[in-house]
């Protein structure tokens, strides 16, 4: 993760339990999939611009001039600027990340204290409680608390 606006918040300073960690991991995988999909779109648009000879489009996509020259040399040799194997590798990576995400979701659903449609977050603080919220990215202290029954 690169700390962009769309990345999930870092929750290391909060005293939260295992359920929160799984939600965070699922959110991080989702952000990574979105990042790869955006890069796929950018590379496809760059290949189209290279084929049509529009270097100004590549500059507007924030490609450096030396990178444009390198991509242009590949096109002049009869290849794509971004080869097909890069797209295949990214698709395989997306599939792998989605499988990991599905596995984490299955683990989360099987955990005690999880209610379908709600996320229960157990604190490690002295007074045990459960935080019930429909938003997996919600910070626990912003949600309504109910007593935790063991």
Residue 120 pairs in a beta bridge with 132
Structure tokens at 100: 């990991």
Res 109: pLDDT: 79
User: Starting at the edge strand that comes first in sequence, how are the strands of the sheet with 144-147 ordered?
Assistant: 119-122, 129-133, 144-147
Domain ranges for the chain, please list them: 18-114
pTM over 0.85: no
**Whole-number percent of the chain with pLDDT over 70:** 60
Q: Are 150 and 128 in contact (CB under 8 A)?
A: yes
Burial of 58 (0-12, 13-18, 19+ CB in 10 A): buried
pLDDT in tens, 124-137: 433 333 444 445 55
pLDDT in tens, 30-67: 899 999 999 999 999 999 999 999 999 999 999 999 99
């Amino acid at each position: 993760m690169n700390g962009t606006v769309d990345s999930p918040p870092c929750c290391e300073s909060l005293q939260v339990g295992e359920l929160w960690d799984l939600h965070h991991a699922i959110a991080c995988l989702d952000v990574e999939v979105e990042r790869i999909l955006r890069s796929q779109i950018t590379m496809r648009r760059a290949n189209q611009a290279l084929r049509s000879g529009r270097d100004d489009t590549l500059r507007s996509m924030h490609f450096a001039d030396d990178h444009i020259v390198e991509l242009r040399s590949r096109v002049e040799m009869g290849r794509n600027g971004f080869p097909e194997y890069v797209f295949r590798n990214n698709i395989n990576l997306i599939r792998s990340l989605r499988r990991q995400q599905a596995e984490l979701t299955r683990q989360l659903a099987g955990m005690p204290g999880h209610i379908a449609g709600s996320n229960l977050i157990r604190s490690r603080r002295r007074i045990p409680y459960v935080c019930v919220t429909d938003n997996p990215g919600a910070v626990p202290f912003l949600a309504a608390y109910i007593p935790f029954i063991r």
